[in-house]
């Protein structure tokens, strides 16, 4: 049977994201595509490389091929193919050979595009990529090319919390056929740094790449600008400069001081005071700021029962205002002395035998603790 040849697909369709590790088999319904993604790696401009896709019907139903080709970049083209039948029967396959011929020192992306009659899978793409490899330095016959490069020339860290750290990754690439020795990496401002995973000097072999993690740790609310300087034995560009920018800001999560009270029991009660024969009994109240901003305790007041005056509560150890930084702890004492035999009970509704802790806590600026005591005199 004489098979028809399908014209190559043209036009710019959205390409799948590249995944260089995705080199196995991709399956779409009954149709399998191997490899799942094609990566030519580095090829010098003026040279070319070839690789092949195998498209096979692994199911029991026939699959019609309505179009087959490469879209996205003219650096890739179909070099050769087996005859393409209009329908792939069970077990039939098509071999499509792709050629990569870069014309510049840059990354190239394209896709294998397949049109079928499969429901919901009438258009399929598989990614193809490759990189133009720069030749080694100046040979004397013309201008040389830098051996070492990065995937970007500037790094913007954006906003970072004061004393917090933001990191960005830069890819250092040897885009030549010669080894390059990376000698030194320095920052013009110590606010910026790098993780020093490379033990310098570091030999970056031909065609290899290495990730470098840069960091930004601002200590003030302001904009920062600096440079990362990468020194190497690249004969064309011995110093490569990355422009670094970032802004220090005060980023808070709660944005408030929050009071936490510890009485040793119910945080809204202090009970069990016992005063015998005029002797004082004392309890300590601890205060913790569990917010992320400064908490100010402006005052601590005790309100005694003015009707049944069997004893008196008073505050010691507080010299307000008290400022607590996040997770800082402060305290004060509550002292009770009986003046008669009797029982003191907290009556919050009458503001009797209670403590008021006044602060700038947005949620509980007037924290009330009830007081209970027994006196024998």
CATH of the domain at 230: 2.60.40.10
In a domain, 19, yes or no: no
Q: Are residues 292 and 370 in the same domain?
A: yes
Stretch (H or E) spanning 324 = strand 322-324
What pLDDT, on the 0 to 100 scale, is given for residue 258?
96
5-14, 21-30, 366-375, range with the lowest pLDDT? 5-14
Cβ neighbors of 132 (< 8 A, separation 6 or more) are 42, 43, 44, 45, 102, 103, 104, 105, 106, 107, 108
* Percent of the chain scoring above 90 in pLDDT: 66
pLDDT tens-digit profile of 313-366? Answer: 999 999 989 999 999 999 999 999 999 999 999 999 999 999 999 999 999 999
Cβ neighbors of 152 (< 8 A, separation 6 or more) are 170, 242
Distance in Å from the first CA to the final CA of the chain: 119
In a domain, 90, yes or no: yes
What pLDDT, on the 0 to 100 scale, is given for residue 23?
56
Q: Could you tell me the two tokens for 153? A: 């020339």
Answer whether residue 136 shows pLDDT above 60.
Answer: no
Alpha-carbon span 268 to 251, nearest angstrom: 32
**pLDDT grade for 134, boundaries at 50, 70 and 90:** low
104-108, 163-167, 330-334, range with the lowest pLDDT? 104-108
What pLDDT, on the 0 to 100 scale, is given for residue 371?
97
| Burial grade of 91 (CB within 10 A; 0-12, 13-18, 19 or more) | exposed
The predicted model scores a pTM of 0.42
Q: What is the CA radius of gyration of the chain?
A: 38
Answer whether residue 58 shows pLDDT above 60.
Answer: yes
What pLDDT, on the 0 to 100 scale, is given for residue 33?
94
What pLDDT, on the 0 to 100 scale, is given for residue 198?
84
Alpha-carbon span 75 to 104, nearest angstrom: 9
Q: Are residues 266 and 238 in the same domain?
A: no
Q: 277 and 188 in contact (C-beta within 8 Å)? A: no
Q: Could you tell me the two tokens for 32? A: 């399998």
In a domain, 139, yes or no: no
Mean pLDDT of the chain: 87
Domain that holds residue 161: 148-249
Answer whether residue 216 shows pLDDT above 90.
Answer: yes
Q: Are residues 210 and 269 in the same domain?
A: no
Q: Are residues 272 and 371 in the same domain?
A: yes
Count the domains in the chain: 3
The Cα diameter of the chain in Å comes to 119
**pLDDT grade for 247, boundaries at 50, 70 and 90:** very high
Boundary-marking domain end, from 216, 249, 282: 249
Reported as half-sphere exposure (CB side, CA atoms, 13 A), residue 270 has a value of 27
Compute how many other C-beta atoms are within 10 angstroms of the C-beta atom of residue 165.
12
Of 19 and 327, the structure prediction assigns the larger pLDDT to 327
In a domain, 62, yes or no: yes
């Amino acid at each position: 049977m004489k098979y028809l040849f399908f014209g190559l697909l043209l036009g710019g369709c959205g390409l799948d994201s590249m995944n260089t590790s995705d080199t196995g088999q991709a399956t779409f319904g009954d149709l399998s595509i191997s490899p799942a993604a094609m990566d030519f790696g580095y090829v010098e401009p003026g040279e070319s490389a070839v690789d092949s896709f195998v498209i096979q019907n692994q199911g029991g139903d026939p699959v019609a091929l309505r179009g087959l080709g490469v879209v996205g970049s003219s650096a890739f083209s179909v070099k050769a193919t087996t005859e393409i039948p209009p329908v792939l029967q069970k077990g039939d396959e098509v071999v499509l050979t792709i050629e990569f011929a870069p014309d510049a020192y840059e990354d190239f992306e394209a896709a294998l595009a397949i049109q079928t009659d499969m429901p919901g899978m009438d258009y399929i793409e598989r990614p193809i990529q490759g990189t133009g490899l720069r030749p080694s330095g100046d040979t004397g016959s013309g201008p040389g090319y830098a051996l070492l490069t990065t995937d970007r020339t500037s790094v913007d860290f954006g906003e970072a919390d004061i004393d917090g750290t933001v990191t960005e990754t830069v890819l250092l690439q040897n885009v030549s056929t010669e080894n390059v020795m990376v000698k030194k990496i320095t920052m013009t401002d110590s606010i910026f740094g790098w993780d020093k995973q490379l033990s310098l000097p570091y030999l970056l072999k031909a065609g290899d790449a290495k990730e470098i993690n840069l960091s930004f740790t601002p200590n003030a609310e302001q904009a920062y600008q600096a440079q990362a300087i990468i020194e190497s034995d690249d004969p064309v560009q011995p110093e490569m400069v990355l422009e670094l920018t970032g802004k220090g800001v005060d980023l808070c999560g709660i944005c408030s001081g929050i009071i936490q009270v510890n009485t040793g029991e119910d945080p809204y009660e202090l009970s069990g005071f016992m005063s015998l024969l005029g002797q004082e009994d004392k309890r300590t109240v601890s205060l913790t700021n569990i917010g992320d901003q400064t908490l100010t305790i402006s005052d601590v007041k005790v309100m005694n029962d003015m009707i049944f005056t069997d004893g008196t509560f008073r505050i010691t150890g507080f010299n307000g205002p008290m400022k607590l930084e996040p997770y800082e702890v402060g305290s004060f004492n509550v002292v009770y002395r009986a003046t008669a035999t009797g029982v003191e009970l907290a009556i919050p509704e009458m503001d009797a035998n209670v403590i008021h802790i006044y602060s700038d806590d947005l949620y509980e600026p007037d924290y009330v603790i009830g007081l209970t005591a027994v006196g024998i005199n």
